[in-house]
Amino acid sequence: MIYAKNLSISYDKKNVVSNFTMNINEGEIVSIIGPNGSGKSTVLKVISRLMKSSNGAAFLDGSDVHSLPTKEVAKKLAILCQHNHSPSDCTVRDLISYGRVPHKQWYEFNNYDDNSIVDWAIEVTGLNEFEHRYVTTLSGGERQRAWVAMALAQKTKVLILDEPTTYLDVSHQLEVMELLKKINEEYKITIIMVLHDLNQASKYSDRMYVINKGKLVMEGRPSEVITKKMLRDVYKIDAHISVEQVSGKPLFYPLGLIKNNDRIEKSNKIVKIREAQ
């Protein structure tokens, strides 16, 4: 359904992603994880046609996304970026209604069906009491739900989300993740997301891709990916890994930064020199 083939991506000729390949099947929940600045958002931008790669290509249902008109891509794929801004005079309902734009001609207003879809998106994201509020007056968590609702109203087969839970408290994080799981199960929407919380990624993903310094490090089921070795190599931490009993998925608990961290090594050397004196 989505195939990113040998992507190399640059900003102003500076290469930030090299030879990245990813293949997503219909109906999967896949997360991309990796440290800050490793290229996760950049990959999402290319597969959703917001940016071109310098090498390789991204395919949506077999077609190169850059060969498709914007509107065609927007009918199949919705993306919720990391930093979203809405105009100050935009209500929650207005924002969610924008999700219907790819399905309309410029001269058409939302009809009964569009309004029903907007009502549905408001309902599933629990935004009923906020629908007439300006988006700019909402708290971070409420605002995030409004953006998720807009992506839902787009009614696409694929939903791409960049850190959808980052600004939310833990119960709202769960609410969003459960909502994504529900729409994946009930409407067979394929979900690709960047998540920072590795336990959340483990709990909700069928598969995970790990990217570090612009390169694909590994790919697999959570039990294959969430390993002590990966956490040491990619995140430079020692961790304890257990298995969550209900889901059988791995759970990690960070123990600390790994000992061969350069800074710690240097300070150990200084201590040894002092001891020797």
Ligand X SMILES: Nc1ncnc2c1ncn2[C@@H]1O[C@H](COP(=O)(O)OP(=O)(O)O)[C@@H](O)[C@H]1O
Q: Select the residue interacting with ligand X from 22, 29, 33, 42 (CB under 6 A).
A: 42
Residues 6+ apart with CB under 8 A from 109: none
Q: Is 41 in the site for Mg ion (CB under 5 A)?
A: yes
**Candidates 33-41, 172-180, 199-207, 227-235 — which segment interacts with ligand X by CB under 6 A?**
33-41
Q: How far apart are CB 48 and ligand X at their closest, in Å? A: 13
Q: Is 40 in the site for ligand X (CB under 6 A)?
A: yes
Q: Which is nearer to Mg ion, 41 or 55 (CB)?
A: 41
Count residues near Mg ion (CB under 5 A).
Answer: 2
Please give, one letter per residue, the 3-state secondary structure of 226-256. Answer: CCHHHHHHHHCEEEEEEECCCCCCEEEEEEE
Out of ligand X, Mg ion, none, what residue 38 binds, judged by CB under 5 to 8 A for its kind, is: ligand X
Enumerate residues 11-30 that contact ligand X by CB under 6 A.
11, 16
Residue 106: CB atoms within 10 A of its CB come to 5
C-alpha span between 169 and 191 (Å, rounded): 22
Q: Which is nearer to ligand X, 125 or 165 (CB)?
A: 165
Residues 6+ apart with CB under 8 A from 62: none
Q: How far apart are CB 40 and Mg ion at their closest, in Å? A: 5
Q: Is 36 in the site for ligand X (CB under 6 A)?
A: yes
Q: How many CA atoms lie within 13 A of 83 on its CB side?
A: 0
**Candidates 37-45, 145-153, 250-258, 262-270 — which segment interacts with ligand X by CB under 6 A?**
37-45
Q: How far apart are CB 174 and Mg ion at their closest, in Å? A: 22
**Pick from 72, 94, 14, 11: which is nearest to 46 by CA?**
11
C-alpha span between 166 and 175 (Å, rounded): 13
- Integer angstrom CA distances of residue 84 from 77, 102, 157, 192: 17, 18, 21, 18
Enumerate residues 194-223 that contact Mg ion by CB under 5 A.
none
Q: Is 31 in the site for ligand X (CB under 6 A)?
A: no
Q: Is 110 in the site for Mg ion (CB under 5 A)?
A: no
Contact 31, 208 (CB under 8 A): yes
Q: How far apart are CB 50 and ligand X at their closest, in Å? A: 11
Q: Is 84 in the site for Mg ion (CB under 5 A)?
A: no
The residue number whose beta carbon is nearest to Mg ion equals 41
**Cross-strand partners of 8:** 55
Count residues near ligand X (CB under 6 A).
Answer: 10
Q: Which is nearer to ligand X, 16 or 237 (CB)?
A: 16
Helix and strand numbers, DSSP H then E, in the chain: 10, 12
**Candidates 39-47, 69-77, 129-137, 267-275 — which segment interacts with ligand X by CB under 6 A?**
39-47
Token pair 């890994």 is at which residue?
A: 241
Q: Is 23 in the site for Mg ion (CB under 5 A)?
A: no
Report CA Rg, the chain. Answer: 21
- Residues found near Mg ion in the complex (CB under 5 A): 40-41
- Residues found near ligand X in the complex (CB under 6 A): 11, 16, 34, 36-42
